[in-house]
A = this chain, B = another copy of it.
Amino acid sequence: MIGIFDSGVGGMTVARAVEEVLPERSIIYFGDVARTPYGSKSPSTISQYARQNCDFLLAKGAKLIIVACNTAASVAGHLLQQEYDVPIMEVISPAVAQAVKSSVSGRIGVIGTRATISSNIYEQEICTLNPSARVFSQSCPLLVPLVEEGWLAKRETKMILRRYLHPLRSHGVDTLVLGCTHYPLLSHMIKPRMGRRVKVIDSSLAVAHALKKFLTDNPSFAEGLALGGERHYYVSDITEAAQSTASRVFGREMNLELVRIDT
């Protein structure tokens, strides 16, 4: 089983990408809808929640965990890698590697929640791979609520995107990292606002491809993973917005299973 967790249903863009790239693998997803969003919480709270989520996935048979939440990955990714024995992947490093590879000018933009951006993790990781890179970051706290409201083509969403993206355009970035798993649902609006010369990196797809490479490079580990395309989508709360966002992500009706992990 490949375990994937997110603060809510946004990380389902990662699960969808894994389904696409590795259709035969079994997936167990946990979305912490009851405590979403993580982006506005403090590091210690986020770390505590991330541990509970990992414990739940491991108890359900996960052999590898993808932290499909940029906020949790930025705040607690290294900590989880130290504390757990199974491989812990996350959505940041693969996107960073792809961005550094893609950028010609070394001017790279990053958008994310307030917690992700203030953690500075994208900037640090990008500069580790390319010390001469210049990173321009912008926190976009309204984008997750807009996606969850389903306002994917509204004029207000376009205006808010323009306000958020304008500084990055002015800085002349040639690559933009979507540093939040909700944002791929807005990429059809983000791309035209950045211009066709700017390469937009989807962190959900990037981690799915990194997972595929990891399994190819570690065949004995890959053999120990269940095949059969089994899928479970657990959430800590079932709400109308979670249901509709999940269905929007997968383009099909989703059967979410309710589970309490904090009591």
Contacts and interface: CB of A to CB of B under 8 A. Distances in A.
Contacts of A40: 33, 36, 148, 239, 241-242
A83 interface: no
Interface string A147-172: 01101000110011001000000000
Interface of A: 33-36, 40-42, 45, 48, 114, 118, 141-142, 145-146, 148-149, 151, 155-156, 159-160, 163, 236-242, 262-263
B146 A42 contact: no
7 contacts: A34-B35, A34-B42, A34-B45, A36-B40, A40-B148, A42-B238, A114-B240
Given A42-B238, A118-B240, 16 more contacts: A34-B45, A40-B148, A40-B239, A40-B241, A41-B239, A42-B239, A45-B237, A114-B241, A141-B145, A141-B148, A141-B149, A142-B142, A142-B151, A156-B156, A156-B159, A156-B163
Contact of A237 (B41, B142, B146, B151): B41
A45 B36 CA distance: 12
A74 to B, nearest CB: 15
Nearest to A48: B263
Contacts of A238: 42
A242 B33 CA distance: 20
Contacts of A36: 40
